[in-house]
Structure 1
Amino acid sequence: MFEPVRGGTRGGQAEFKWSDVSADKDREHYLGHSINAPTGRWQKNKDVHWYNRDANGTDAERDEEIRKVKELEAQALAAVLYV
C-alpha cells in the first residue's frame, strides 16, 4: 500500500533555468508574462528588476525625501478640504 519515498530532486528543480522558459515556444500558454523570463524588444537593455535594487542614497536623504512627500500630501489635502 505505501511505497518508499523516492530520493533526489523531483520536478526537475535542479535542471530549471529561466532562459529555457523565455525560449520555450509554448511560453505564453502556461506561464504568461514572467518578470524573470522577459522576451521581446521592450526588454532589451532594460533593468526589469529596477524596483528591487538597493538604493544608493543615505538614510538622511531618504528621510528628507519622505518628509517632502508628506509635506506635499498635507498641502494637497488642505487644498482639497479648503483649509
Structure 2
Amino acid sequence: MYHPIREGTRGGQGLFSWAQVSADKDREHYLGHSVNAPTGRWQKSQDVHWYNREKKQSDKEKAEELRMIKEAEADAIAVAL
C-alpha cells in the first residue's frame, strides 16, 4: 500500500536543543556531541571552540606567515625532486 510522504520536518527540529542532548543518556549517538554538548569535569572552564576563534593578527603578520609557509613548501618540493 502506498502512503504519501508527509510535508514539513518530522524530526522536531524546532524542539531540538544541545542542553537536552547533554542530559541524555545516549548523547554519544549525536554527531558533534563532544563539542556542542560537553559534559563532565574536563569541560569546566574549557574553551572547546578554541580552534574556531578568530586570531588577532595584523595583515603584516599574516603575510609573513604565508611567506614562510610558501618557502617551506618550496624547500620540501626541491628536496623531493
1:42: which partner in 2? Answer: 42
1:67: which partner in 2? Answer: 67
Deviation of 1:3 after TM superposition, in Å, equals 4.1
Identity of counterpart residues, as a percentage? 56
| Superposition RMSD in Å | 3.0
Paired amino acid for 1:24? D
1:16: which partner in 2? Answer: 16
SS class of match (2:11)? helix
Provide the rounded CA distance (Å) in 2 between the counterparts of 1:3 and 1:76: 59
Q: Does residue 25 of the first structure (1) align with residue 25 of the second (2)?
A: yes
Larger RCO of the pair (alpha carbons < 8 Å, separation 6+): 1
Residues 77, 40 of structure 1: CA spacing in aligned structure 2 closer, same or farther, 3 A cutoff? farther
Aligned residue pair count: 78
Contiguous gaps of at least 5 residues in structure 1: none
2:7: which partner in 1? Answer: 6
Paired amino acid for 1:51? Y
**Structure 2 length-normalised TM:** 0.65
**Structure 1 length-normalised TM:** 0.64
Deviation of 1:53 after TM superposition, in Å, equals 1.1
